[in-house]
């Protein structure tokens, strides 16, 4: 199990990805995102996850620059948005993201949502970026098992990561097992269900037992399920607290109690319905 913020999981191509990072979904462009990224890096985070659609890549880049940590020590992720899916448009979107971030390469680039018809062309573009050495790892986001099976039929390179909504109300056991079998690292977005799980009595009881917060217990549950996690916060105190999860361990009983909260309930869109911004 990871014992610090610097600990990594090895993706199937040998690249090391931190188990824990900062997400910046809904963090406002400008000083808010710059400060959030700077606080995270200052407090030992090395992984930052953004996306074109968050419209804060410039601020993320600025925060990285101001933090003053060597680029090669960081792990930076962005994602191609739905309306940019397709081969040429994905290659262009990648260049735009890099320019906004002020970086020469990304550590991980993801297809943000599967949509219906274009993700194979989009994947070919990601494979090209990867083969050309422009990005260290490539993957997908919000892909269900059927999307992955379909993609794998034609993919030359298997996705290294699948980033999905994942929390105790959406435990995605079958998807996790499928990804583990295929050597695809599962990563959680919205691990705290946008704060909705923080007063859950089962979780608060486990937290009290360990002298930890509900958020820390949920994030620890992610890691013990071998799922990479990227909680967001704009408050430095919370950024520090979220990462303070390496000094305790949930028992098998704790894990099973939390697993038992599953309701297959999403806070985000269902990937099968999410074709917004696609020309199908």
Report the residue count for the chain.
280
Cα–Cα distance for residue pair 78/86, rounded to 1 Å: 17
Q: Look-up: residue for tokens 């610097």?
A: 6
Closest CA to 49 of 86, 10, 17: 17
3-state SS assignment for residue 6 = coil
User: 280 CB contacts (<8 Å, ≥6 apart)?
Assistant: 115, 116, 117
User: Do 150 and 181 meet the contact criterion of CB atoms below 8 Å apart?
Assistant: no
Among 160, 255, 163, 222, residue whose Cα is nearest residue 20: 222
Place of tokens 């037992």: 209
Structure tokens at 46: 């090395």
Residue 104 has a CB neighbour count (10 Å cut-off) of: 8
Structure tokens at 20: 């824990």
Question: Of 54, 109, 130, 166, which one is the catalytic site residue?
Answer: 54
Active-site residue flag, 119: no
Which whole-number Å values give the CA distances from 97 to 54, 110, 205, in the listed order?
11, 12, 43
Q: Are 98 and 104 in contact (CB under 8 A)?
A: yes
> For residue 164, what are the CA distances in angstroms to 120, 193, 233?
19, 12, 18
Contacts (Cβ under 8 Å, ≥6 apart) of 131: 157
Just list the catalytic residues: 54
């Amino acid at each position: 199990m990871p014992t610090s913020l610097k600990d990594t999981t090895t993706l199937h191509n040998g690249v090391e990805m931190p188990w824990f990072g900062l997400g910046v979904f809904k963090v406002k462009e400008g000083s808010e995102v710059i400060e959030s990224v700077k606080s995270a890096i200052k407090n030992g985070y090395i992984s930052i996850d953004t996306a074109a659609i968050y419209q804060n890549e410039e601020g993320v880049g600025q925060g990285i620059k101001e933090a003053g940590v060597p680029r090669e020590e960081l792990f930076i992720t962005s994602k191609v948005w739905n309306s940019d899916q397709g081969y040429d448009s994905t290659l262009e979107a990648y260049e735009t993201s890099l320019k906004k971030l002020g970086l020469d390469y990304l550590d991980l680039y993801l297809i943000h949502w599967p949509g219906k018809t274009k993700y194979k062309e989009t994947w070919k573009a990601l494979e090209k970026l990867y083969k050309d050495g422009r990005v260290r790892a490539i993957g997908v986001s919000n892909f269900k098992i059927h999307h992955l099976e379909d993609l794998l039929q034609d993919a030359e390179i298997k996705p290294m990561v699948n980033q999905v909504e994942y929390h105790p109300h959406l435990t995605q056991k079958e998807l996790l097992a499928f990804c583990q079998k295929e050597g695809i690292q599962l990563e959680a977005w919205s691990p705290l269900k946008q704060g909705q799980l923080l007063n859950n009595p089962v979780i608060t009881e486990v937290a009290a037992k360990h002298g930890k917060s509900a958020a820390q217990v949920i994030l620890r549950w992610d890691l013990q399920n071998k799922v990479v996690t990227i909680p967001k916060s704009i408050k430095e105190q919370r950024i520090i607290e979220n990462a303070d999860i390496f000094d305790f361990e949930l028992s098998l009983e704790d894990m099973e109690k939390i697993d038992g909260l599953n309701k297959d309930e999403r806070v985000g869109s269902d990937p099968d319905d999410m074709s917004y911004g696609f020309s199908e």
